Amino acid sequence: MAEYVPSPRDWVREQVELYESSGGTKGTTLRDTGLPVIIVTHTGNKTGAIRKTPLMRVKDGNGYVLVGSQGGAPKDPVWVHNLRANPRVELRDETVVRPMQVREVKDKAERDRLWTLAVAAFPPYADYQTKTARQIPVFVAEPVGR
């Protein structure tokens, strides 16, 4: 079994701890926005360690849209590289935890549709895109059988 290595950022690590230790009943929203958050458990592409990343919840049917915005920072978040290398993840949405397969969305029409959904769920994503020269990566996570 790989080891779980928590985020070095205090607020992120603390959100993951509260979310998971409460079984998905506490710490499930982003600070004062009240908007829902999911937890994606994935594998480090260099260390093989278990990583847990909170992201905004953007639903598309049975699937979820994962947006690598990192507040409009100049570089993609590290978890984006992890998902590209290891697309099998576990996704927690409040009390429900499911294995999922992740795929990066490259097709322009599909990305445009999902981006619109993402901005509707979390409007600051639009501002984050204007802050950075990179195109913010978008993934879909879809449930897989156990």
Residues that bind ligand F42 (CB under 6 A): 7-9, 12, 15, 30, 37, 44-47, 49, 51, 53-56, 67-70, 77-79, 81-82
- Beta strands across the sheet bearing 50-56: 50-56, 37-43, 88-93, 96-104, 138-143, 63-67, 59-60
Closest to ligand F42 by CB, 55 or 105 = 55
Q: Which residue's beta carbon is nearest to the bound ligand F42?
A: 44
Closest to ligand F42 by CB, 51 or 146 = 51
Question: How far apart are CB 85 and ligand F42 at their closest, in Å?
Answer: 8
Tokens (6 digits) for 4: 């779980």
Closest to ligand F42 by CB, 84 or 98 = 84
Amino acid at 21: S
Tokens (6 digits) for 91: 């996704």
Question: How far apart are CB 93 and ligand F42 at their closest, in Å?
Answer: 13
Give the helix ranges, DSSP H, for 86-134.
108-121, 124-131
Question: How far apart are CB 134 and ligand F42 at their closest, in Å?
Answer: 12
Question: How far apart are CB 145 and ligand F42 at their closest, in Å?
Answer: 27
Closest CA to 56 of 129, 120, 143, 108: 120
Residues facing residue 37 across a β-bridge: 56
Closest to ligand F42 by CB, 49 or 97 = 49
